Amino acid sequence: MLVAGELAGQIRRRERSAREVVTEALDRVAGGDAAIRAFVRVCADAALAEAEALDRRIAAGEDPGPLAGVPVALKDNLCTKGLETTCGSRILEGWRPPYDATVVERLRSAGAITIGKANMDEFAMGSSTENSAAGPTRNPHDLSRVPGGSSGGSAAAVAAGFVPVALGSDTGGSIRQPAALCGVVGVKPTYGLVSRYGLVAFASSLDQIGPLTASVGDAALVLEVIGGHDPADSTSIDAPVPRLSDAVEAGVEGLRVGVCLELIDGVARDVEARVREAAEALSGAGAKVEDVSIPELRYGLSAYYLIAPAEASSNLARYDGVRYGLRVDAPDAAAMNKATRTAGFGAEVKRRIMLGTYALSAGYYDAYYAQAQRARTLVTRAFDRAYAQVDVLLGATSPTTAFPLGAKVDDPLAMYLSDVCTIPSNLAGHPAMSVPFGTGDDGLPVGVQVLAPALGEKELFRVGGVLESLAPPIALPALGALGSVERT
């Protein structure tokens, strides 16, 4: 498995060239992505040019940074200057942002090289990457299954070995759930740790950018690069990012771990078994493990499915056919807005816009939106009480392993239930990580979720590092079956 930190080390020491590494990544994509469709766009020429420039800088004695020459995939809701950014939507077809997201700038200044944009559910609304105008992405472990979502393209690109690092965004589990379903590491940082500037908004008070990587150490490395204060984001935390790479090796001796019963009750039996095994592994490594019950977490799903659509209904109003993106002509401005939005948005996006509009509309605001915001307080307070007893919580990331394509597309509520274990952390603004830990009865990867209180990333990575080292091995996706690695 590719490890970004090692790769960057080899390139910085001139044992390999960035051009060689990037070329190999592009070759793997060219060979394998026709079947997976992790990428909606590959920028081979720009990536190679950047790699060559980087090699020249290294030859001149410069150090391009901790991710020197590491090929990365960016979820297609991260703005990339001059490179089309569509959020999996028809309404943004052809839109080339005139600016880079803060995380994109930070990756570049750490030496990383963007090789393409990863597929996603339209505007990050979905749990399967089936809601994309570009068509679905498939799970590299089983092409008949979904990769999860909404960052399914990012998770699949890492799982397929195309790139060691991808960025995703997580509003209700959109990094962790696909990471679990694809057998990779996914981290949703504390709200405010990573700048949202340049992340196309879904639900502003919940959205957070984070890494999907092949290893826990890489996730730490990437978070150290992309995290930290950004004056362009008013909700950015004005404090330095802690040294997370050290935490990965620090062990869990003495750490208090709570197995959260609400995050394993009702999940598939094999998934629950893996969580219990992970807890035992941590106990064996010196952690104090106990069961913890937080009954209020079960209100998370309802609160989330009112708050997120409400914010989304407002965030997505700007796609009106006036300034950028799609326009469908009509005789007057309002009719043009309507025709454009009707043609440009997919069914799930429309569903959530209407749900959110309803939750905010006159007469319903208090019953739905305000009540959901109070439930959010309820969930957060309940977490606070639990964290008075334990340092981190453990649970399932996804209630099941990867499900077949099409299984839930006609039942929105069933699809929403995929996020039931991940949503509470978003509501509270807390960090959480999904770490691969064995497989289900179907042989597909299972992710164990580690949760921590706000700015508890260090504890998260201590647990993640131990779980990674003790996890039963997962068979790598049969990449050979996906096509030749020879460049065509």
Partner 1 sequence: MAISRDDVAYVAALARLELSEEELERYTVQLASILAHAADIAALDLSDLAPMAHPLPLKNVFRDDEPRPGLERDVVLAAAPAVEDHRFCVPRILGEEP
Partner 2 sequence: MTPAAHDSGAWEWVVGLEVHCELQTATKLFCGCRNRFGDEPNTNICPVCLGLPGSLPVLNRQAVELAMRIGAALHCSVRPSIFHRKNYFYPDMPKDYQISQYDEPINVGGFLELPDGSRVGIVRAHLEEDTGKTTHVGGGGRVGSSEYSLVDYNRAGVPLVEIVSEPDIRSAEQARLYVSELRGILVATGASDGRMEEGSMRVDANISVRRVGSEQFGTRCEIKNLNSLRSLGRALEYEARRQIELLEAGETVVQETRHWDEEANRTTAMRSKEEAFDYRYFPEPDLVPLDPDPAWQRAVAASLGPMPADRRARILEVLGGTEASAQRDQVGVVVNQALDDLVLTAVDHGAPGSLALARAANEAAANPEAARRLDPKAFAQLILFEASGKLSSTQSKEVLGELLVRGGGDPEAIARAKGFEALAADALAAVIDEVIKANPAEWDSYLGGNDKVAGALIGKVMAATKGQADGKVVAAELRRLRSSS
Which of positions 428-457 make contact with partner 1 (CB under 8 A)? 428-430, 454
Smallest gap from Cβ 229 to partner 1, in A, equals 10
State which amino acid sits at residue 225.
V
Smallest gap from Cβ 87 to partner 1, in A, equals 15
Question: Does residue 75 carry a catalytic annotation?
Answer: yes
Closest CA to 455 of 362, 387, 386: 387
Residues in the chain: 488
Question: Judged by CB under 8 A, which stretch of 43-51, 218-226, 276-284, 294-302 contacts partner 1?
Answer: 294-302
Tokens in use for 201?
Answer: 């908004």
Binding flag, residue 76, partner 2 (CB under 8 A): no
State which amino acid sits at residue 122.
E
Out of partner 2, partner 1, none, what residue 339 binds, judged by CB under 5 to 8 A for its kind, is partner 1
Smallest gap from Cβ 354 to partner 1, in A, equals 5
412-425 burial, b for 16+ CB within 10 Å, e for fewer? beebbbbbbbbbbb
Out of partner 1, partner 2, none, what residue 327 binds, judged by CB under 5 to 8 A for its kind, is partner 1
Question: Does residue 245 carry a catalytic annotation?
Answer: no
Q: Nearest-5° angle of CA 17, CA 119, CA 404?
A: 120
Binding flag, residue 151, partner 2 (CB under 8 A): no
Catalytic entry in 75, 117, 188, 408: 75
User: Which of 337, 426, 439, 449 touches partner 2 (CB under 8 A)?
Assistant: 337
Smallest gap from Cβ 41 to partner 1, in A, equals 17
Closest CA to 136 of 120, 157, 159, 125: 120
Binding flag, residue 311, partner 2 (CB under 8 A): yes
Question: Does residue 188 carry a catalytic annotation?
Answer: no
| Dist. CA 275–CA 286, nearest whole Å | 17
Closest CA to 168 of 132, 217, 222: 222
Cβ–Cβ < 8 Å for 471, 436: yes
Out of partner 1, partner 2, none, what residue 374 binds, judged by CB under 5 to 8 A for its kind, is partner 1
| Dist. CA 196–CA 202, nearest whole Å | 11
Phi/psi class of residue 436: alpha, beta or left (left: φ > 0; alpha: ψ in -120 to 50)?
A: beta
Binding flag, residue 79, partner 2 (CB under 8 A): yes
Binding flag, residue 362, partner 2 (CB under 8 A): yes
Tokens in use for 406?
Answer: 């099409």
Which of positions 315-354 make contact with partner 1 (CB under 8 A)? 317, 320-327, 329-339, 341-342, 345, 350-351, 353-354
Report the run of H or E that residue 435 belongs to, with start and end. strand 432-439
Quickly count: other Cβ atoms within 10 Å of residue 376's Cβ: 23
Out of partner 1, partner 2, none, what residue 455 binds, judged by CB under 5 to 8 A for its kind, is none
User: Which of 50, 76, 130, 320 touches partner 2 (CB under 8 A)?
Assistant: 320
Angle, helix 44-59 to helix 4-12, in steps of 10 degrees: 50
Catalytic entry in 128, 174, 236, 434: 174
Give contact residues for partner 2 (rule: CB under 8 A): 77-79, 85, 87, 92, 95, 97-99, 101, 196-201, 203-205, 231-235, 310-311, 313-314, 317-318, 320, 322-324, 333-334, 337, 357, 360-362, 365, 369
Residue positions annotated with a catalytic role: 75, 150, 174
